[in-house]
Amino acid sequence: MPWIKEEKLYPIIVLLLILIMAVRTPLETDMWWHLRAGEETLLNKEVYSVDTFSFTREGADWINHSWLSQVLMLLIFQAGSYHGLSIWVGGCAVLSMLFVYLQMKGHPLLRSAVLLFAAVVSSVVWSPRPQIHTLVLFSILGYLIFKYKRTKNYKYLIWILPIFVLWGNLHGGYVLGIILMGSVIVGEILNKILLKDFADNLSWRQISIFAIFIVSGFLVVLINPFGLDMWKIPFNTVGVETLQNVISEWASPDFHQVFQQPMLWMLLGVFSLIGLSKKNIDGTELVPLIAFSWAALVARRNFGPFAIIAAPIFSKYLASLIDDWLNVATEKFPWVNKILEQSRQNNKDLKPGFKNMINLMLIGLLLVGVGWKIADVNEREFIHQAERDVFPVDAVEWMDDSEISGNVLNDYNWGGYLIWHLRDRPVFVDGRTDLFGDEILNDYLSVMSLQPSWPEILDEYQINSVLVKSDSDIARALQNTNWQIEYQDDISMILSK
């Protein structure tokens, strides 16, 4: 007997490949202010909720919906530095994909291939941020709903409550869970009214109980330091109109970018597979698919949840289509049958010992690959170089030693880095868009895009210096005025009045 059966071998291989893919140098623009907020929470033994990092919102109340993630991130960073954070991101990515795999149908090889595809789509949002917890919890929630639907056992629904309690403290993305559950209910009602040919449709009673758990999930989110305010978070965040102009992940996808295209192919794939199917799709698959296709097309940060919803549907209908085609092919072309028979025979002929050796070697090789990737992406020199490519490392060192005084306008993407590295100097803006709101963000954008009012805005905020990208429009414009270059390198420039 082989130690590892085929149905387990393929997912293990793919999950290890996903781990290799997901372990990355943990440098993300928002990571730094999350770490600093986590540090403040631990130091003061109180959730950080009044702004001290910026001069534009100093003293303002802030609903820090990711406080638990921030503490967790900081503890990991303190214990394992960059290595720890990259393993944590990789682990979360693998966990989210594992629960997707458990919902899939078809041959393990096919399921594993689709899982890899889903991982590529989802990988756009794998980063050291609280959002990664949403991905995991969303995937687990999907699995619980899947199991409830199949078994009708309420024990799976009970788990929804702790998930939402945790979610409400880890990240504001809990609303995605509510949308998922709501769309499943709508799908189930669609099944009841129009699509009666599914054996595992829920009864009205089971639907009602499920609905009670949605309401309960929504209620238990309130178990957090901010209470009712947590319900405002989705509206506060999405309500920031300038969001998509500042954060690319909130923008609608740009499929001219190759890294965003896998989502498009997955959408086209699901689209085609359900079209080619001779059966109609279960409403509890269809409605969430529509909901999360919409979400992903509106903001690319939703690629992850889309992949988690689409992958099980993709594998189910692809498996069914392949079965249909194989049936036709084996009837029409006897050689297809021969090849299939031969392949099965070859597989049987392999000795279990030999199979075990090959399988273990493969898994061992992949584990070595994981170890190598973790070491490689977190190698000191590599990190320093990567940091220099993205952040104003030298400019920050220069600023630390300089006597520049007064307010400094900073590039939005560098706000978090400055918060962590220049602790005594508050920033103009950083990734906390819900804190800054349209007012500050619009002013920031007006300056950066040189709207006619930009000189007045600089005066209004009493800006004496700017730390911006050296090839930015504002850097060029200021050079043509009475501002002086204080510091300049390949990526950053500091100018003062």
Partner 1 sequence: MNIKNGTQNLLAILIPRLGEIFFIAIFAAVIGLGPRMMNIDGDLGRHLTLGNYIIDNRDIPTEDIFSFTKSGDPLTPHEWLSDLFFALIYRAAGLNGVVWLTALIIAGSLWLVYKYSLNLSNMSLIALLGGILGAAASSLHWLTRPHIFTIFLAALWIGELEKMRLGIRKSWLIFPFLMLIWVNLHGAFIAGLLIWACYFVGMLLDQQISLHKNQSFIWVGISSFLVSLINPDGFGIWKTGFGFLGNQYLVSHTAEYLPPDFQQPAFWPFLILILISIFVLGLSKKKIAFPHLFIIGGWTIMALFSARNIPLYVVTAIPVLISETCGILCDWKESILVDKFIEFQKKIAMTEESLKGGFWSAVTIILAIVLLMNGTRLDFQRSGNQFSEEVFPVQASGWLEENPPDGNGFNYFPWGGYLLYRFWPERSVFIDGQTDFYGEELTREYEEVITLADGWQEVLQDYHIKWVIMPAGSVLGSALDDSDIWEEGYSDRTAEIWMYSD
The burial class, CB within 10 Å (0-12 / 13-18 / 19+), for 363 is middle
What is the rounded CA–CA span in Å between residue 428 and residue 107?
54
Q: At what angle do helices 6-22 and 352-377 cross, to 10 degrees?
A: 10
Which residues is 494 bridged to in the sheet? Answer: 467, 487
Count of H-run helices and E-run strands, the chain: 22, 4
Q: Which is nearer to partner 1, 161 or 298 (CB)?
A: 298
* Contact region with partner 1 (CB under 8 A), list: 56-64, 91-99, 411-419, 445-453: 445-453
DSSP secondary structure letter of residue 487: E
Shortest distance, CB of residue 243 to partner 1, whole angstroms? 9
| Span from 101-109, 121-129, 254-262, 458-466 in contact with partner 1 (CB under 8 A) | 254-262
We find the least distance from the C-beta atom of residue 140 to partner 1, in angstroms, to be 25
Options 144, 286, 309, 435; binder of partner 1; rule CB under 8 A: 286
Both tokens of 482, joined, read 């009475």
Shortest Å, Cβ 494 to partner 1: 19
- For 422-445, b where at least 16 C-beta lie within 10 A, e where not — what string? beebbbbbbbbbbbbbeebbbbbb
Among 270, 418, 447, 493, binds partner 1 (CB under 8 A): 270
Rule CB under 8 A: is residue 457 a binding residue for partner 1?
Answer: no
Stretch that binds partner 1, among 34-42, 66-74, 262-270, 419-427 (CB under 8 A): 262-270
Q: Give least dist CB 480 to partner 1, A.
A: 5
Using CB under 8 A, pick the residue from 50, 268, 357, 368 that binds partner 1: 268
254 near partner 1, rule: CB under 8 A: yes
Please, are residues 168 and 222 in contact by the beta-carbon 8 Å criterion? yes
CB nearer to partner 1: give 104 or 274. 274
Q: Which residues on neighbouring strands pair with residue 408, listed in sequence order?
A: 465
Distances (CA, A) of 262 to 118, 169, 265, 266: 8, 31, 5, 6
Q: Per rule CB under 8 A, is residue 485 in the interface with partner 1?
A: no
Minimum Å gap between C-beta 428 and partner 1 is 21
Angle in degrees, CA 66, 184, 188, rounded to 5? 165
Q: Which stretch binds partner 1 (CB under 8 A): 19-27, 122-130, 287-295, 335-343?
A: 287-295
In angstroms, give the least distance from the CB of 285 to partner 1: 8
Q: Is 297 among the residues that bind partner 1 (CB under 8 A)?
A: yes
Contacts (CB under 8 A) with partner 1, residues 193-232? 194-195
Residue 200 Cβ vs partner 1, minimum distance, rounded to whole Å: 17
Q: Give, in degrees to the nearest 5, the angle at Cα 89 between 84 and 92.
A: 120
Is residue 473 part of the contact set for partner 1 (CB under 8 A)? yes
Interaction of residue 342 with partner 1, rule CB under 8 A: no
**Nearest approach, Cβ of 464 to partner 1 (angstroms)?**
20
Tokens representing residue 293 in the block: 């296709």
Closest distance of CB 247 from partner 1, Å? 12
Q: Which residue has the tokens 């049958």?
A: 337
If one asks whether residue 445 binds partner 1 (CB under 8 A), the answer comes out as: no
- Token pair, residue 97, equals 């994909």
DSSP H helical ranges for 194-333:
204-220, 229-238, 243-246, 261-276, 283-298, 303-332
Rounded to 10°, the helix 131-151/303-332 angle is 50
Of 250, 246, 299, 257, residue with least CA distance to 449: 246
Tell me: does residue 41 bind partner 1 (CB under 8 A). Answer: no
By CB under 8 A, tell whether 151 contacts partner 1: no
Taking the CA of residue 255 as centre, how many other CA atoms within 13 Å lie in the half-sphere pointing to its CB? Answer: 12
Q: Shortest Cβ distance from residue 299 to partner 1 (Å)?
A: 8
Residues 130-162: b if buried by 16+ CB within 10 A, e if exposed = bbbbbbbbbbbbbbbbbbbbeeeeeebbebbee
Q: Which stretch binds partner 1 (CB under 8 A): 121-129, 223-231, 247-255, 388-396?
A: 247-255
Residues of this chain that bind partner 1 (CB under 8 A): 194-195, 244, 251-256, 264, 268, 270-272, 274-281, 285-286, 289-290, 293-294, 297-299, 450-452, 471, 473, 476-477, 480-481
